[in-house]
Amino acid sequence: MSYDKNNIFAKILRGEIPCKTVYENEYVLSFYDINPQKKIHVLVVPKGEYIDLDDFVSKASEKEIIEFHKAIIHIVKMLKISNQEAGYRVLSNIGKDGGQEVPHLHYHIFGGEKIGKMVV
């Protein structure tokens, strides 16, 4: 599968669709989900064109991979849901069977309340 430059996250990254930014740096954009599933629900997307985690790990630079994961920790601390507070969940749906809806790597961060079971 090739990267779809017209997916919604690509459009957000280009500024064609607005978002409520939580955090941004050279490698990552994080913003509030427009259809939150929990009290806190933000998305974290790499700025590079990566379809999913497999694509990201095989094509991204080490710096991009490290900065993406460091950004997640920075964001949960900003939101005051880190493991020093009440905790959080990070989730990435990958591929059709994994429930991925947008073909751009993204992680969901959930928090601010009890999340519950991981899979039902």
No. of helices (H) and no. of strands (E), the chain = 4, 5
Count of beta carbons in the 10 Å neighbourhood of residue 70: 13
Active site residue 74: no
DSSP 49: -
Catalytic option among 41, 69, 74, 106 = 106
- Cβ-count burial of 71 within 10 angstroms (0-12 exposed, 13-18 middle, 19+ buried)? buried
Best CA proximity match to 52, nearest among 87, 22, 9: 9
- The residues annotated as belonging to the active site are 106
